[in-house]
Amino acid sequence: MSATKRAPAGRRVIGAARKPKTEEPDRALTDPEIMVGDAVGRLIEFWGFKRNMGRIWAVLYLSPGPLSAQHLQDLLQISSGAVSMTLAELTRWGVVKKVWVQGERRDHYAAEVGLWRMISRVLGERERTEITVAVETFERAVKVLEARKSGGAAEARSRADFQLRRVRALLDLARLGWTLLDALLSTAKLDAEPLARFLLGGARDATNG
């Protein structure tokens, strides 16, 4: 009896019961794939990410089966280095996962299709961090201005008093933003995921399609 081949640790397995759908490496992107990829690329570029991250994620999202890095390179006509770096970033953000396809030696990748889970993860890891940094910075500025307000020349005290009121307003706004973001993520994760998935484009249909 031959030993059963096992998947490498940390990778999701595409079962042996049926051969997974794979894309032909020499096919071209369809018009809808190009349109969606470009739209997602522009959107996440506006959020401060690289456009190719959106394009690669969109191709994987619209693919009926996992794709290898080579397939992505051929489809999108970008360098192997760019594909490798982009896949590493997408995997780190949790919006793309590495899977193991039985009978294939290359690594394959699939997109996260739970749209709200994906967005909340990015918001939680990036936006919350930025707001926290802003709050801490404003708090330090408030302490400096409070010290300046209590001593020095009259003109300097007046300027410090004016700036202190302005910075405190920013601090209140940042704290409010942090609270709203935290409430949004917590509430959506616990109570509103079905509604969020519906509003964000029918991830249920995409998953079952």
Q: Is residue 122 included in any domain, yes or no? A: yes
Q: Is residue 107 included in any domain, yes or no? A: yes
Whether residue 175 is found in the same domain as residue 146: yes
Q: Is residue 2 included in any domain, yes or no? A: no
SS (H, E, C) 70-93: HHHHHHHCCCHHHHHHHHHHHHHH
Quickly count: other Cβ atoms within 10 Å of residue 137's Cβ. Answer: 14
Q: What is the pLDDT of residue 37?
A: 87
Q: Is residue 172 included in any domain, yes or no? A: yes
Whether residue 36 is found in the same domain as residue 103: yes
Determine if the pTM surpasses 0.95.
no
Give, as one character, the DSSP assignment of residue 21.
Answer: P
Specify the number of domains making up the chain.
2
Whether residue 58 is found in the same domain as residue 126: no
Whether residue 98 is found in the same domain as residue 126: no
> At CA 99, angle to CA 109 and CA 96, rounded to 5?
45
Q: What is the pLDDT of residue 14?
A: 46
Q: How far apart are CA 95 and CA 173, in angstroms?
A: 30
Q: How far apart are CA 165 and CA 82, in angstroms?
A: 47
CATH of the domain at 87: 1.10.10.10
Sheet with 108-111: strands ordered across: 12-14, 96-101, 108-111, 67-68
Q: Is residue 179 included in any domain, yes or no? A: yes
Whether residue 120 is found in the same domain as residue 74: no
Residue ending a domain, among 90, 111, 132, is: 111
Measured between its terminal Cα atoms, the distance across the chain in Å is: 38
Q: What is the pLDDT of residue 170?
A: 87
Whether residue 69 is found in the same domain as residue 20: yes
Q: What is the pLDDT of residue 32?
A: 85
Whether residue 33 is found in the same domain as residue 85: yes
Q: Is residue 174 included in any domain, yes or no? A: yes
Whether residue 203 is found in the same domain as residue 176: yes
Per-residue pLDDT of the chain (209 residues; tens, 9 = 90+): 444 444 554 455 444 334 445 444 557 788 888 888 889 888 888 777 888 988 999 899 888 889 999 999 999 989 999 999 999 989 988 889 988 787 777 889 998 877 777 777 777 777 778 888 888 999 999 999 998 888 778 888 898 898 889 999 888 888 887 787 777 777 655 445 555 555 565 544 544 54
Q: Is residue 6 included in any domain, yes or no? A: no
Q: Which two tokens stand for residue 128?
A: 């919350």
Q: H or E segment at 110?
A: strand 108-111
Whether residue 106 is found in the same domain as residue 123: no
Q: What is the pLDDT of residue 2?
A: 43
Which residue segment(s) compose the domain that 72 sits in? Answer: 12-111
Q: How far apart are CA 120 and CA 93, in angstroms?
A: 11
One-letter amino acid at 191 equals: D
Q: How far apart are CA 44 and CA 178, in angstroms?
A: 21
Q: What is the pLDDT of residue 199?
A: 55
Phi (first) and psi of residue 47, to 5 degrees: -80, -5
Whether residue 138 is found in the same domain as residue 94: no
To the nearest 10°, report the CA torsion of 184, 190, 195, 196.
50
Q: What is the pLDDT of residue 87?
A: 93
Whether residue 186 is found in the same domain as residue 96: no
Whether residue 150 is found in the same domain as residue 198: yes
Q: What is the pLDDT of residue 193?
A: 54
Q: What is the pLDDT of residue 79?
A: 92
Q: Is residue 4 included in any domain, yes or no? A: no
Residue ending a domain, among 56, 77, 111, is: 111
State how far the alpha carbon of 123 is from the alpha carbons of 16, 67, 69, 97, 186, in Å: 36, 27, 27, 19, 12
Phi (first) and psi of residue 150, to 5 degrees: -90, -5
Residue ending a domain, among 111, 144, 170, is: 111
